Amino acid sequence: MKKNMTMHFTNSILLIMIFIFANLSLMAQEAQDTSILKTHKSLPILNNFRFIPSDIVKDPFINTFIKLNAGSGIALDLKSYVKNLQGEVIDTLSGDISYLSGDLEFQLAVNDWLAFNIDAGGSGRLGSNAYTILTSGISYQTTFTLGGKIRIWQNDKMFLAGTVEYSSSEVALYSIYDFVKEVYENGGEIDTAANSILKKETLPKAFFNVNYAYAPADWFGLLGVAGFGFIKTFDTVERGNYRLGVAAAIDFLNVESIHFPIGILLSARYNKYSETGSVAENLVLFGFRIGYTGHKDFDIGIENTYETLNYKKSDEKVKAILTSFKMRYYF
């Protein structure tokens, strides 16, 4: 486990170093502060501070863009229960689960106070050893989201918006253990048990949010989100959910004596229940993003997220780490 965790952090640091050094070749072409980036495009700028986009705490700005995310991660110390074919737990082991994720989003600003967005994405996971594959299965998920955003209030330093989103996720879980157990219980009848190897379910989710941005200085900004909604997780009934998040960012392009077009963002969010279909609760998600802030057309960066959650099956805390490449192009 420690080896996998060390390798993941090493790869993340390497990607960040490559990202920083790649920007050195662009320095001569860029501005010495954010003011020159104010063009006809509606960039996320308040008080001359350029906000770094975050998927953990989304910004309230009304603009038109296309966004691409691609990432990979690992869930650490997932408890796996070794069961006999009567379903009785005879041992407990721990293992890791690897997963991949990606999504594509388009947001359209109808005017300066209203925007709509559409998002499509997917993810998949696989256990790292025989026990996590057998007990946790192999799963994949595809998600389609529609949303809207309306400006509530704005001045030179603050921006407040209300957002609504509805998504539908198709989740599929291959459970080898359930299949073998069904064959055993049916006296070796494979055809009857075939239906138990794959479980599929459509999981709806709806959220209403208030999103906030505040830039007290041209080099520092804050994002916040508070939301309430309804969600259905795998093999459970629909129930209420809420999210609370905050993010803080620094743009070194506007820091005196530095003027380097790199920004960093720290974020945190709490959810009562998982938003991805997992039967988990009390999720705490932390993020660290480093991004390029010197171009008038796009935001590009690398974000590491660290998540802790409680699986109801085991009452154990599970830790997950994800590294993602993120790019947003403004129109």
Tens of pLDDT, residue by residue over 282-308, are 788 999 999 988 888 889 999 999 987
Paired strand residues for 331: none
> Mean pLDDT: which of 34-38, 279-283, 304-308 is highest?
304-308
Assess whether pLDDT exceeds 60 at residue 190: yes
**Nearest-angstrom CA–CA distance, 52 and 46:** 12
Overall average pLDDT of the 22-39 stretch: 54
Segment 5-22 mean pLDDT: 54
Q: Distance of alpha carbon 90 from its chain centroid, rounded? A: 36
Distance separating alpha carbons of residues 45 and 32, to the nearest angstrom: 16
pLDDT band, residue 29 (cuts 50/70/90): very low
Residue 163 has pLDDT above 50, yes or no: yes
pLDDT in tens, 45-97: 999 999 999 999 999 999 999 999 999 888 776 665 555 555 566 555 566 67
pLDDT band at 38 (very low <50, low <70, confident <90, very high): low
Distance in angstroms (rounded) separating the CA atoms of residues 158 and 284: 26
Structure tokens at 227: 């939301």
Residue 273: predicted pLDDT: 78
Q: Of the candidates 294, 234, 315, which has an alpha carbon nearest to the alpha carbon of residue 23?
A: 294
Averaged pLDDT for residues 94-112: 87
Look at residues 253, 261, 258 and name the one whose alpha carbon lies nearest to residue 301. Answer: 261
Q: 3-state class of 192 per DSSP?
A: helix
Report the chain's mean pLDDT, rounded to a whole number: 79
pLDDT of residue 314: 47
Tell me, what's the pLDDT at 28? 41
What pLDDT score does 173 carry?
Answer: 76
Give the burial string for 159-176 (b: 16+ CB within 10 Å, else e). bbbebebebebebebebe
Q: CA–CA separation, 174 vs 172, rounded Å?
A: 7
Phi, psi of 11 (to 5 degrees): -65, -40
d(CA 133, CA 137): 5
Residue 155's Cβ-count burial label (10 Å; 0-12, 13-18, 19+) is exposed
